[in-house]
Amino acid sequence: MVLAAPTRSCFFLLALVALSASSAAIAQDPPRLRGFYPNVLIATHDNLSLEFLNEAVASMDDCKAAAAMIASTVQASCTKCTVVKLQCVTKLDPRQQRLLSEEPVEMPSSRLPRGVVAYLSDAQELALASCRAAEKLASAGPGYHATCFPPNTRRPPYESPAISSQGALRGLTLGAFVLILTALGSAFAGFLILRYEWLHRHWSADPVDAVPQKFHATPTPRIGGVAVMAGLLISGGALRVIEPGGSSELYAYLLFASLPAFLGGVSEDATKSVSVVARLALTMLAAAVGVWLLGAIIPKLDVPGFDSLLRWTPFAVAFTVFAVGGVANAINIIDGYNGLAAGHSVIVLAAFVWVSAAVGDEFLFFSTLAMAGALLGFLAWNYPGGKIFLGDGGAYLLGFWLGEVSVLLVVRHPEVSPWFPMLLLVYPIFETLFSMYRRKIVQRLSPGLPDRNHLHQVIYAYLTRRAAPDPSDPAALTRSNSQVAPFGWLMTLACAIPAVVFWQDTRWLMTASLVFCAAYLCIYRWLWRSANGRG
């Protein structure tokens, strides 16, 4: 029975961490014969130790970054694990040379991209069982494997798992199935919400003139998030039946992690009494669950100095929780007009789908397609007619999903620049930061107060500056409302195109993000002056 339950948390992190750490700071450079070798020894609580030894990197800083990433992520996933040794070796001893070679060694070992993991234990059977369990978990992971070699066997170099044309076709077919099924499930759930609106209107309807940011003509159900979640659950169940384990299991973890964010938002939709702070706290709780279940901890931002702080696990976890909560709140802020937030997110998710396919990550490929499908089903009722709104439940669910996928993509694939998701989400993020500055510094008001000065509202004011729609004409008000979203979609496309082209190049992605922020300020100023007759 001891062999059946060896440190599962260590197996999971092995599939997740070893590739991340071995590639940290060295991108896709070829292996080096001379340089600095990251070497980490981790002791678990089950009489088992894991020794990570990676290919040499060019500089001591790169080596320290790789070693620190291994240690910090292991400790985040296995709280009882202890770092016994963390070093950068300039010259390998004979035992270490054998570990990186094809020669047999006396202990079980796993071949990984750019390195090897040795399993050390007084109980050789325990070490071998751990090695094989790691291989099994890694095979269900993001497009690479951790081949396990028993003691005293020849160990050929790591080879990336080839994807056959048949396997690629199957993945595309299953992805299309997930997209269509989720869209149909979400659309049908939306139909039921509208069909039986009389049952829930008294608590689900969004009133017309409750707060300044309302721009619709008639009370409208604001529980579109329920339809989105229904689509996600349907596709999750189908994936579980078609492909049990692997990607479907991780997808289930992601769904489970999203529940606090979704339930907090839906509670506000139903009661109108859940504060912004409470919703944000619940979304951060969801991010913390993602850390626990999926190892979703931001490993780097490619910002000198700040990346050093991220090597300290408590700071990295806290920053991740805050960042995911911030993205969710940002999506909620831009959810002001028919189709704006959902259409923006579909474009972002399409970019995630593209890069997930490029790195061979089935879990993220299916997860992004599922959310894209759920949003397309929701948009069938939301745009342009505005018959149902996303609501806080949908906005926080969507924002959490986008934030979590952003983190996981960088964690699971170090070749993906952290500025790839940053550029994709720069519009809602910068909108939030600018709004806080505008309210607190310029207007000297509380950042939490609603107003009509967000960019999408300024666009609306510009479009209707000469002929404002008659509030008593619902059709005219709906048409004016729906004119705003395409402008937001164009801004998102302007970010998505360079993001997809340069998804590995931090310099270009960072430059594009800064250019967008400058363009945003110029456009905002021009639109505001024009809408107010000052242009």
pLDDT at residue number 186: 97
What are the percentages of helix, strand and coil residues in the chain, rounded to 5? Answer: 60, 10, 30
Tens of pLDDT, residues 424-439: 999 999 999 999 998 8
The pLDDT confidence band at residue 2, using thresholds 50, 70 and 90, is very low
pLDDT bracket for residue 8 (50, 70, 90): very low
CA distances from 284 to 101, 106, 319, 396, 427 (A): 44, 45, 10, 11, 21
* Higher pLDDT pick, 234 / 249: 234
Q: What is the pLDDT of residues 326-353, one digit of tens each?
A: 999 999 999 989 999 999 999 999 999 9
Q: What is the pLDDT averaged over residues 88-92?
A: 85
412 with 503: CB under 8 angstroms?
no
Sign of CA dihedral 185, 224, 327, 425: positive
What residues contact residue 497 under an 8 Å CB cut-off, 6+ apart? none
Q: Nearest 5°: CA angle at 129, between 242 and 116?
A: 90
- The per-residue pLDDT for 289 is 95
pLDDT at residue 495 is higher than 90 = yes
Predicted confidence at residue 447, as pLDDT, reads 72
Q: What is the pLDDT of residue 424?
A: 98
pLDDT band at 219; cut points 50, 70, 90: confident
Residues 6+ apart with CB under 8 A from 341: 331, 332, 334, 335, 390, 395, 398, 428
Among 287-291, 344-348, 356-360, 471-475, the range scoring the smallest mean pLDDT is 471-475
Q: What is the reported pLDDT for 148?
A: 82
Contacts of 442 (CB under 8 A, 6+ apart): none
Question: 210 pLDDT exceeds 80?
Answer: no
Residues 254 and 422: beta-carbon distance below 8 Å: no
pLDDT of residue 248: 86
Find, among 150, 147, 151, the residue nearest to 113 by Cα.
Answer: 147
In this prediction, residue 27 carries a pLDDT of 39
Distance, CA of 481 to CA of 340 (rounded, Å): 10
Residue 285 has pLDDT above 90, yes or no: yes
Max mean pLDDT range (23-32, 205-214, 394-403): 394-403
Alpha-carbon gap, residue 446 to 275, rounded angstroms: 15
**CB neighbour burial string for 248-274, b if at least 16 within 10 angstroms, e if fewer:** bebbbbbbebbbbbbbbbbbbbbeeeb
Mean pLDDT in the chain? Answer: 84
pLDDT bin (cut points 50, 70, 90) of residue 467 is low
Tokens encoding 54: 């990676």
**How much is the pLDDT for 361?**
85
Return the closest-CA partner of residue 70 out of 323, 414, 386, 462: 414
What are the C-alpha distances in Å from 428 to residues 278, 334, 435, 458, 521? Answer: 20, 6, 10, 15, 13
pLDDT band at 244 (very low <50, low <70, confident <90, very high): confident
Residue whose entry in the numeric block shows the structure tokens 């919400």: 193
Other Cβ atoms within 10 Å of 445 Cβ, number = 12
How large is the average pLDDT for residues 245-252?
83
Residue 245 pLDDT: 67
User: Would you place residue 19 in the very low, low, confident or very high pLDDT band (cuts 50, 70, 90)?
Assistant: very low
Q: Taking the model in full, what pTM does it have?
A: 0.73
Alpha-helical regions (H) of 275-390:
276-294, 306-310, 313-334, 340-358, 362-382
First-residue to last-residue Cα distance in the chain: 77
Q: What is the pLDDT of residue 528?
A: 87
The whole-angstrom separation of Cα 411 and Cα 416 is: 9
pLDDT number for residue 534 = 65
Q: What percent of the chain has pLDDT over 90?
A: 46
- 40 vs 138: CA distance, rounded Å: 20
The confidence score (pLDDT) of residue 31 equals: 44
Inform me whether the pLDDT recorded for 162 exceeds 60: no
Residue-range domain boundaries for the chain = 8-149, 166-200+215-531
Q: How confident is the model at residue 443 (pLDDT cuts 50, 70, 90)?
A: confident
| Average pLDDT rounded to a whole number, residues 293-307 | 89
Percentage above 70 pLDDT, the chain: 84
More confidently predicted of 397 and 124: 397
- Decide if pLDDT at 213 tops 60: no
Beta bridge partner(s), residue 119: 50
What pLDDT, on the 0 to 100 scale, is given for residue 531?
76
Average pLDDT over residues 123-130: 85
DSSP 6: S
Interval 491-497 mean pLDDT: 97
Average pLDDT for 288-317: 90
Cβ contact 219:208 at 8 Å: yes
Predicted pLDDT at 339: 93
Question: What's the rounded Cα separation, in Å, for the pair 330 and 345?
Answer: 12
